[in-house]
Amino acid sequence: MFLDMTQGAVASTLSVSTAPLPDHQYETVRHLLFGSLTAVRLTIQDLHKKRYAEPNDWSKPISTGRPNEVMAILTKRVAIKP
């Protein structure tokens, strides 16, 4: 997990292997981004540039009930390296 103070959003990232692995070596993870709408969008774009996830894979921004704060959710299967 990392905190990017320049964008104001929190995200977690994992290395993803492109080699096919048996099913037992995958795990489903959920990433949650919290921050301003701009910060969340910029973080999603940054993760897309790093080829981690497509922007359309994320949920639409959801209000958290706090002023000027939204969250976006990504659920993804990632390869777990032994």
The torsion of the CA quartet 13, 19, 20, 22, rounded to 10 degrees, works out to -70
Q: What would the mean pLDDT of 50-55 be, rounded to a whole number? A: 93
Report yes or no on whether pTM surpasses 0.75: no
Q: What would the mean pLDDT of 36-58 be, rounded to a whole number? A: 95
C-alpha closest to that of 14 among 52, 42, 56: 52
Q: What is residue 5's predicted lDDT score, i.e. its pLDDT?
A: 46
